A and B are shown apart, each in its own frame.
Chain A
Amino acid sequence: MTRVEGRGAGLTRFRIDTGLSGLPDLEPAAFDPSAGAAGSRARLLSVETDGRWRRRYVAAEPAASGATGLAALLPVYWPAGRSWPDPAYDPAGWPIPGLSPAEVTPDRCLLVGGVYDRRTALHLPGDGTLARDGLREVARIAVESGRCLVFPFVYARARRILDAATGGRVRWGVLEHEACFRDVLRTDGTRARVRGVLRRDRRIIERAATTASVVPWQDASPRTAGLIAEHNLRMGQFDDPEFVRMRYTQWADCAGVRVIVFDARAGSRHGVLTALVWRDSLELHEIGLPPSGDPARLALYLDLIFHRPHAYAREHGLNTIRAGTAARTPKASRGAAFEPLHGGVLDPESTKWLAHGPDPRSTE
């Protein structure tokens, strides 16, 4: 479906489709790199094959003759059934003040941006008018099916644009903090305190005499999925080795993404860490460690969460390491920077208002 809308100086053409194949001329630049591989075209295609979710894409482009370039790309999703395919995307569990669970049942929500990876890629323009017009198209889709708009796991830039485009009507909560190590290839500039922590780590790792290899997901030890699932279960997250295999098989199918496993041993202890290589970054995903409080386990943990990935990144010229959202304190003490990921809900009345109402920048 194509719709042309104009306001002020420019005309914008909106195209709405159920698959990226219906929007064949989108350039790679149409896909927001801020979420890493999670925002890539290949990953969106992977989500398209998941029968647990339904989806649409709203693409906005300048309609004037001769004008080119994508102004916005907004993927939207809703559950195919009556339950949430992933509890992390159930807004009822988010720390949003005053939000009633009845407002955000699966049949009443339209999720904007993404439903995988707990990170959202939103190609939104800084231009407030265009962003608002794109969101208005999305709000119309929501209103047609009696839903409200939900914004899962968005970065600060997207939150600012969404706030401006909706007149501050989105209610937000901070869901997680993503850890990131930047300038990994620089060898100077590490703070003295961090250097001290890393020296202590190395002594622990040396005493345990850990060994490690890095292998493609397809060649990983058969124990890998089980170690990760058991680790997640101990952390209170429901998981199963079959879910783990599914997650990484999906990633391995994504063009441009390489899935690797750090496989580390210390005596009889065995630990694993999954990671993705995408462009110039390494993205750490999930760890699997045996349960115990012995020094060998600690050595494996320190080696896997920091030292092996950093060595690998340096060897392969990867300048950024996205280190996930768990274990904030140990990552902070080793020099990680953090960015909050926000979850937001635009209530049904405000969604209708956005779809049909006046300029959201007005306060009326």
Chain B
Amino acid sequence: MTQSEVATLMAEILETDEIAADESFFEVGGSSFLVLTLIARIRERTGVTLRMIDIIRRPTPDGVHELVTVAADGVS
């Protein structure tokens, strides 16, 4: 999942136009509950299950993209 795909997914969840690569999910309206939706959608698309704790520590499209990449490498 590319960084731009993560940004698009976050924007869809937040019903906003776009999110910059370094913009925090929480600053643009994300909540803890919406992180659960984000985790579920990433799992549907990639098979990777991220942890909430990792997302609150790295809540940008950049950060989440890296988390997915590292987790996917661990899976494969």
Contacts and interface: CB of A to CB of B under 8 A. Distances in A.
A associates with B: yes
Interface of A: 49-52, 79-83, 85-86, 238, 240, 242-243, 245-246, 249-250
A242 B32 CA distance: 10
Given A51-B56, A245-B53, A246-B52, A82 B39 contact: no
Nearest to B35: A242
Contact of B56 (A82, A238, A240, A246): A246
Given A85-B32, A238-B33, A242-B39, A52 B26 contact: yes
Contacts of B32: 52, 85-86, 243
A50 B27 contact: no
A351 B13 CA distance: 37
Nearest to A86: B32
A51 B63 CA distance: 11
Contacts of A243: 32, 52
Given A51-B56, A51-B58, A246-B52, 7 more contacts: A49-B56, A52-B26, A81-B28, A83-B31, A85-B26, A243-B32, A246-B56
A246 B30 contact: no
B57 to A, nearest CB: 5
B20 interface: no
Contacts of B28: 81
Given A50-B57, A51-B24, A51-B58, A82 B29 contact: yes
Contacts of A238: 33
B36 interface: yes
Contacts of B56: 49-52, 246
Interface residues on B, range: 10 to 19
A241 to B, nearest CB: 10
B53 A51 contact: no
B61 interface: no
Given A51-B58, A242-B36, A250 B29 contact: no
Given A52-B26, A81-B31, A85-B26, A242 B52 contact: yes
A79 B27 CA distance: 9
Contact of B27 (A81, A86, A249): A81
A25 to B, nearest CB: 26
B51 A83 contact: no
Contacts of B33: 238
Contacts of A83: 29, 31
A249 B51 contact: yes
B51 A246 contact: yes
Contacts of A80: 24, 26-27
A82 B14 CA distance: 12
Contacts of B52: 242-243, 245-246
Interface string B34-76: 0010010000000000011100111100000000000000000
Closest 5 CB pairs of A and B: A51-B59, A81-B26, A246-B53, A246-B52, A80-B26
Nearest to B53: A246
A80 B35 CA distance: 15
